[in-house]
């Protein structure tokens, strides 16, 4: 087991990882920018190192400073959290070269999944169902037309270096194709310095369902069920749940089994998320994320397993603590992302939190790094906390969520809490009847 772990992140996820380290008896080091000297993660860690000025580029993304912080403090591993350096293959390689363990997959696996064409090719080879489309990059308009005619319109052009919704263009007929291809290609070149694009059948009303997987790096793979993350705005998830209201246990076991086997065959190590679009009872792979995700607590709630413990165990060579048959799905969990934003326009609302009171009671978890009197710096993302509620079934979970939202107080800034208080009263949400476009339509309707 590691003696000392350096946490290369901030906010609620830095605290989340700190808690797991404390439970495992591991010493903790955090890094922080000059804007975060009074942050909770700095107060709770055993040691802290200031790695630079407020902009992320110069602090939380500054690889040299973070490696230096490891050397100075004698940390033997780094947990990257999510965002920042969590999916940076070069960072994983540099740590390995310094004999510091990156708590995550190998640089090579991060690299494969970061290239969306290579990720899709790999998924297909491993037996994961993918969206019908081009076999790799599209070279010219002629090829695009041929593939589109084969799979049928509408189609979507995606940037290989994109992901998370950046650099996508839909073509509803052959007349749209030339412009879609050219725009997607030039936007990809400008944004990522890589203009490789690929083409897929465009799915009109899918759900976004993702499988939580884990590999032990030695040929074993397991799945921890799925999360439904369809409720999003501009590719930012707002509400996530486990299980998906759309799946039954047979469908879960089938897609889960496929994903667990793929992870085993890949020799993958650590936590991963395999993202699918789900429409008319079929799964279509879109991307894989090679990190712990923001919404991992809903999976922890229904499985009772600490996913950060598992990450640390696997990275330190101790293997997974569970076999597939030990993983049971208990009840239902929902996570609401509390952002320092206007609840309708999602405009950031940094400032000082004058009063912060979190709900409690059975089945209620709040992961947050803020406190009464805390000033939210304007440099980072606006997530200030997550409310995760668990119940024996979805109805009980929703009752508890309504109650927990009533108790939650955040004064001094705008937050997304009022949006959630509206959503819990909505019949579609109560019925679990929504797709990836539902929230944006809902927000457009009542202004």
Among 119, 183, 129, CA closest to 156: 183
Residue 130 or 253: the one with the smaller Cβ distance to ligand MV4 is: 130
Burial class (CB in 10 A: 0-12, 13-18, 19+), 191: middle
42 binds ligand MV4, rule: CB under 6 A = no
Which residue carries 């229904």 as its tokens?
A: 302
Which residue carries 């994961």 as its tokens?
A: 128
- Closest distance of CB 428 from ligand MV4, Å: 17
Half-sphere exposure of 5 (CA within 13 A, CB side): 31
**Residue closest to ligand MV4, measured at CB:** 165
- Find the binding residues for ligand MV4 in span 148-177 (CB under 6 A): 156, 163-165
254-293 footprint of ligand MV4 as x/- string (CB under 6 A) = -----------------------x--------xx------
CA distance 408 to 164: 30
- Find the binding residues for ligand MV4 in span 418-447 (CB under 6 A): 436
- Closest distance of CB 128 from ligand MV4, Å: 15
131 binds ligand MV4, rule: CB under 6 A = yes
Whether 15 contacts 41, CB under 8 Å:
yes
CA distance 64 to 70: 10
User: Which residues are identified as catalytic?
Assistant: 291
* Candidate residues 39, 51, 112, 203; the one interacting with ligand MV4 per rule CB under 6 A: 203
Residue 233 or 402: the one with the smaller Cβ distance to ligand MV4 is: 233
Residue 123 C-alpha from the chain's centroid: 19
- Closest distance of CB 200 from ligand MV4, Å: 4
Residue 277 or 410: the one with the smaller Cβ distance to ligand MV4 is: 277
- Closest distance of CB 445 from ligand MV4, Å: 17
Choose one: 202-210, 252-260, 303-311, 351-359; the region binding ligand MV4 (CB under 6 A): 202-210
Choose one: 94-102, 198-206, 296-304, 349-357; the region binding ligand MV4 (CB under 6 A): 198-206
- Closest distance of CB 277 from ligand MV4, Å: 6
CA distance 21 to 29: 10
Name the DSSP class of 374. P
Q: How many residues bind ligand MV4 (CB under 6 A)?
A: 16
Q: What is the DSSP string of 292-344?
A: --TTHHHHHHHH---HHHHHHHHHTT---S--GGG----SEEEEEEEESB-TT
CA distance 296 to 301: 9
CB atoms within 10 A of CB 373: 12
- Closest distance of CB 219 from ligand MV4, Å: 29
Helix (H, G, I), strand (E, B) or coil at 215: strand
Choose one: 10-18, 20-28, 195-203, 408-416; the region binding ligand MV4 (CB under 6 A): 195-203
The token pair at 14 is 């830095």
Residue 224 or 278: the one with the smaller Cβ distance to ligand MV4 is: 278
- Find the binding residues for ligand MV4 in span 371-400 (CB under 6 A): none
Residue 258 or 436: the one with the smaller Cβ distance to ligand MV4 is: 436
CA distance 199 to 171: 10
- Find the binding residues for ligand MV4 in span 212-231 (CB under 6 A): none
* Candidate residues 16, 41, 169, 208; the one interacting with ligand MV4 per rule CB under 6 A: 208
* Candidate residues 84, 102, 198, 202; the one interacting with ligand MV4 per rule CB under 6 A: 202
Please report, to the nearest 10 degrees, the dihedral formed by the alpha carbons of residues 118, 121, 122, 126 taken in order: 170
CA distance 425 to 445: 16
Residue 203 or 423: the one with the smaller Cβ distance to ligand MV4 is: 203
- Closest distance of CB 208 from ligand MV4, Å: 4
Residue numbers at the binding site for ligand MV4 (CB under 6 A): 131, 156, 163-165, 200-203, 208, 232, 235, 277, 286-287, 436
């Amino acid at each position: 087991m590691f003696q000392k772990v350096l946490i290369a992140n901030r906010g609620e996820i830095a605290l989340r990882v700190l808690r797991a380290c404390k439970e495992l008896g591991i010493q903790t080091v955090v890094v922080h920018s000059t804007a975060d000297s009074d942050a909770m993660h700095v107060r709770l860690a055993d040691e802290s190192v200031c790695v630079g000025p407020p902009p992320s580029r110069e602090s939380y993304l500054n690889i040299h400073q973070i490696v230096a912080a490891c050397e100075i403090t004698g940390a033997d591993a780094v947990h990257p959290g999510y965002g920042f350096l969590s999916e940076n293959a070069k960072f994983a390689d540099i740590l390995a070269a310094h004999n510091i363990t990156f708590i995550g997959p190998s640089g090579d696996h991060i690299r494969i999944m970061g290239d969306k064409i290579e990720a899709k090719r790999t998924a297909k080879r491993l037996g994961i169902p993918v969206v019908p489309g081009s076999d790799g990059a599209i070279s010219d308009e002629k090829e695009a037309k041929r593939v589109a005619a084969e799979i049928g319109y509408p189609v979507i052009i995606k940037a290989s270096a994109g992901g998370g919704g950046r650099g996508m263009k839909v073509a509803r007929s052959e007349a749209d194709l030339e412009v879609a291809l050219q725009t997607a290609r030039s936007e990809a070149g400008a944004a990522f310095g890589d203009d490789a694009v690929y083409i897929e059948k465009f799915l009109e009303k899918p759900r976004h369902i993702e499988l939580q997987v884990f590999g032990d790096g030695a040929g074993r793979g397991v799945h921890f069920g799925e999360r439904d993350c369809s409720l999003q705005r501009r590719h930012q998830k707002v509400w996530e749940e486990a299980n998906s209201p759309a799946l039954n246990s047979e469908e879960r076991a089938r897609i889960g089994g496929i994903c667990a086997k793929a992870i085993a065959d890949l020799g993958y190590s650590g936590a991963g998320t395999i993202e699918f679009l789900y429409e008319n009872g079929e799964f279509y792979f879109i991307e894989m994320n090679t990190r712990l995700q923001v919404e991992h607590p809903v999976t922890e709630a229904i499985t009772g397993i600490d996913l950060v413990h598992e990450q640390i165990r696997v990275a330190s060579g101790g293997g997974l603590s569970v076999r597939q048959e030990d993983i049971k799905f208990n009840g239902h969990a929902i996570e609401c992302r509390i952002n320092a934003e206007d609840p309708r326009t999602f405009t950031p609302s940094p400032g000082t939190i004058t009063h912060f009171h979190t709900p409690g009671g059975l089945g209620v978890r709040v992961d947050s790094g803020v406190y009464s009197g805390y000033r939210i710096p304007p440099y980072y993302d606006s997530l200030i906390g997550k409310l995760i509620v668990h119940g024996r079934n979805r109805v009980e979970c929703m009752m508890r969520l309504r109650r927990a939202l009533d108790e939650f107080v955040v004064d001094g800034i705008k937050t997304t809490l009022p949006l959630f208080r509206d959503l819990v009263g909505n019949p579609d949400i109560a019925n679990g009847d929504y797709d990836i476009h539902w929230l944006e339509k809902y927000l457009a309707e009542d202004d």
